[in-house]
Structure 1
Amino acid sequence: MDARRWTAGLLAAVTATVALTACSSDGEAGCASEAGMVQCAPDERGDAPTIAGELLTGGRYDVAAQRGQVVVVNFWGSWCAPCRAEADDLEATYQATRGSGVTFLGINVQDSRDKAIAFEEGRVTYPSIFDPASRLALALDIPPNSIPATVVLDRDGRIATVIRAAVTRDDLQPIVERVAAESAPPTGER
């Protein structure tokens, strides 16, 4: 078996287990999986792995510093047509929810830095980590064939929702608002 077929098989297996890893080890009792999306009840959520790295524009970013905020993490590439289509919806959702203790983070995968920076210019105002090897995506069980993908982390850094498809504002904003409403941000964070 050549390396490409082995990798494709591995990625298919990883995709099949995303729902299980997004929720606690007790299984999917508190999780609902439908049409490329897994949503978990607060008591069924698992912790996200470390999400940190170098920003496209320089400097470092660590999601752990955002505890107390809902963090929407979007995996994208400049080469990805659905990523281009969802960029305006992501930015609109970010602008509509950031006053509620919500922040957004992009993670650019399988790309060159120049193309990624050019893609973001004039499209989004939130930061993006540069991860050309897709290490962060794979740590969250987001295989390369699932880009774009969006992960919503609750205020405790746990995985509330995984969406393995392009998003629209009409679909994403209610999810983000629901997770944000689960608990108010700490005083002074609004």
Structure 2
Amino acid sequence: MGKVFDGIDQQLATWLTAQPMFIVGTAPLEGDGLINVSPKGMAGTFAVLDEHTVAYLDVTGSGVETIAHLQQNGRIVLMFTAFDGRPNIVRLHGTGEVVLPGDPRFADLIPRFTVHPGVRSVIVVAVHRVSDSCGYAVPRMTYVQDRDVLDLWNANKGEDGLAEYRRKKNSASLDGLPGLV
């Protein structure tokens, strides 16, 4: 059934990047803090950098939980699920880092992704554990297309509107941890 892999080989990298959606899970250190799971999608927003490193484009949204949790403790898991083809679930456990636009590494990372308005960071994950499980109970679903609502919303806000939105909505997590400053 489930296997643990030494890293992300080319076959797995191809499978991961072909999935139209993945889930990100993080949590604060405090036991009573809120655990966060966040669905991610949009083609071209996830990249395998090498066999032990992945990254994804972080676009402005309603919360800042992932960023706040990573800044506090770095713990992260990404889960990919096959909704068509052979059933499969893959989890990438690791340590995440928030790379902001002012960071010199940002310029090297951003060309790996498709263009989207409202990019606030790139999340880079040093993957410590790669595992799969059966996915037998996951339903078959048909991918129709990416939604363009987030891109349209971010484009409509414009850079000044996004900066103001981030100040209001992305400065702290639900538990009060620092987010974007």
Task: Please classify the TM superposition score into its range, dividing by the shorter chain length.
Answer: under 0.3
Looking at secondary structure, tell me which structure has more helix per residue. Answer: 1
Looking at secondary structure, tell me which structure has more strand per residue. Answer: 2
TM superposition score normalised by structure 1: 0.26
